[in-house]
Amino acid sequence: MEITGHLRKMKVELSQPVDYSLVLGTERVPLSASLGKDIYLSHTGNIHCIHCDRPIKKSFNQGYCFPCVRRLAQCDICIVKPELCHYDEGTCREPEWGEIHCMQPHYVYLANTSGVKVGITRYNQIPTRWIDQGAVQALPVMEVESRYLSGLAEVEIKQHVSDKTQWQRMLKGQIEPVDLEAYRNEIFEQAGAVLHQLQERFGEEAIQLLEYEDVVNIDYPVQHFPKTVKPLNFDKNPVVSGKLQGIKGQYLILDSGVINIRKFAGYEVQLSI
């Protein structure tokens, strides 16, 4: 099999284990069934912005050209730090985009990636967001009316648990199960006063605590986890090859190293399996 196209974030489907497809332009290549096979990814040297499709020499923010990074709402700082949302101030870069993506229900969740972390996601990105982060367990703990409110809640909760994933540890596979329900209950107790203040400020319907959700367990198609994590990079070596030993998060795990597919969105690549 040989296919050439521009990379996009891998498509995922929650199953046991997760089902992955590599996206190359309009082609979707099933990958989970290719474990144990030799895989070759050769970067042609061409890169196109994933938004405007212009040819570029360097991408920013996982696939954008520099003008798009400066112009698009989806590249604004409030995407990384939603508590800085300025939609209500009338200064959103793209108000219509904000209506569709930010002024929509969001979930605050706990996930076990490299340990317990807090995160946020739009209502229609569950469980994709959890899978992209390599979570082996996940639990929604709050439902809120907007991305801004999810950011305010996350700011408080991350005083008690991390909001980061140690990606090298996540890829080594040595992640022990934890009692996320116990973490949720403890956080509700520790952060309860501030969370109730947010409810009083914005209304109880705007910020709902979820006390009875079930933990979602996630398994990944991995034959062998790496003992040491060696990152592979198309910018340093245009050819990435090796035996496909697993897939977790947005990473391909090869016997030669690991590569973050999402990082190289917009790169034109020739695939051979």
pLDDT of 63-86, one tens digit each?
Answer: 999 999 999 999 999 999 999 999
Is residue 142 located within the same domain as residue 237?
Answer: no
Q: Is residue 245 part of a domain?
A: yes
* Domain end marker among 80, 103, 126: 103
Would you state the pLDDT for residue 189?
96
pLDDT greater than 90 at residue 174 = no
Q: Is residue 63 part of a domain?
A: no
Is residue 17 located within the same domain as residue 111?
Answer: no
Is residue 89 located within the same domain as residue 178?
Answer: no
Q: What residues make up the domain containing 95? A: 72-103
Q: Is residue 146 part of a domain?
A: yes
Query: Which pTM value belongs to this model?
Result: 0.95
pLDDT in tens, 89-133: 999 999 999 999 999 999 999 999 999 999 999 999 999 999 999
Is residue 118 located within the same domain as residue 175?
Answer: yes
Cβ-count burial of 66 within 10 angstroms (0-12 exposed, 13-18 middle, 19+ buried)? middle
Is residue 124 located within the same domain as residue 196?
Answer: yes
Domain count, the chain: 3
C-alpha 97/C-alpha 99 separation (Å) is: 5
